[in-house]
């Protein structure tokens, strides 16, 4: 990413709260297309901070909670398809599935770049694939039996 000319900054007051609402400073951004665009543009800068990035520009933003939400999780014959809040669909990498201390599910999406939290609906979509094994929850899908790790910091993505 190229540096900006002297005097310009990539810092902004744009932020998304834990409920998915976008703000510029203290003013909520209410236009639905701007909110949708911002959800699609969430990315990470080389320094690991969250940014909004489109084809020509990028700027730092603050994100509370997961940057991406899994809205639906659809078990298919050979994979589990995730519908994401950024409009993308991708197969779940089941080895990234984890839960926080309260039992909320998370996975890593977008090629290992971003953590994604499961909505209640997406969690319910997986319920028939989850089993208890002692004090651990296990994802059972086809021939896979993958223990779901409990993490105090489920938004951390190793290597990012």
Q: At CB < 8 A and 24+ separation, what contacts does 70-73 make? A: 70/105, 70/107, 70/109, 70/116, 70/117, 70/118, 70/119, 70/122, 71/119, 71/121, 71/122, 72/121, 72/122, 72/125, 73/118, 73/122, 73/123, 73/125, 73/126
* Phi, psi (deg, nearest 5) at residue 69: -115, 140
Residue with tokens 């589990």: 80
Count Cβ atoms below 10 Å from residue 125 Cβ, excluding itself. Answer: 21
Distance between CA atoms of residues 121 and 24, nearest Å = 29
For the chain, give the number of residues.
160
Of 38, 63, 88, the position where a domain reaches its end is: 63
pLDDT given at position 2? 58
Extract the tokens encoding 53: 């990035």
Residue 160 falls inside a structural domain:
no
DSSP letter assigned to residue 94: G
Per-residue pLDDT of the chain (160 residues; tens, 9 = 90+): 555 554 456 889 999 998 889 999 999 999 999 999 999 999 999 899 999 999 988 999 999 999 999 999 999 988 999 999 999 999 999 999 999 999 999 999 999 999 999 999 999 999 999 999 888 999 999 888 999 999 999 998 877 7
CATH classification of the domain holding 39: 3.10.540.10
pLDDT score for 9 = 65
Q: Are 116 and 107 in contact (CB under 8 A)?
A: yes
- Check whether residue 75 and residue 146 sit in a common domain: yes
Range of the domain at 32: 14-63
Residue 99 and residue 157: Cα distance in Å, rounded? 13
Q: What is the pLDDT of residue 10?
A: 86
pLDDT at 6: 47
Q: Do residues 135 and 100 share a domain?
A: yes
Q: How many CB atoms lie within 10 A of CB 124?
A: 12
Same-domain pairing of 130 and 75: yes
């Amino acid at each position: 990413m190229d540096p900006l000319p002297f005097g310009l900054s990539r810092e902004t007051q744009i932020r998304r709260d834990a409920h998915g609402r976008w703000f510029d400073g203290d003013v909520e951004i209410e236009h639905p297309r701007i909110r949708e665009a911002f959800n699609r543009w969430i990315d990470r800068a080389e320094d690991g901070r969250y940014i909004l990035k489109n084809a020509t520009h990028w700027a730092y933003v603050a994100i509370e909670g997961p940057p991406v939400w899994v809205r639906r999780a659809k078990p298919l014959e050979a994979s589990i398809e995730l519908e994401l809040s950024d409009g993308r669909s991708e197969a779940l990498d089941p080895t990234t599935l984890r839960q926080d201390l309260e039992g909320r599910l998370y996975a890593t999406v977008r090629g290992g770049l971003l953590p994604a939290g499961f909505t209640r609906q997406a969690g319910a979509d997986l319920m028939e694939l989850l089993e208890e094994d002692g004090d651990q929850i296990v994802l059972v899908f086809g021939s896979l039996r993958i223990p779901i790790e409990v993490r105090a910091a489920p938004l951390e993505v190793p290597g990012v």
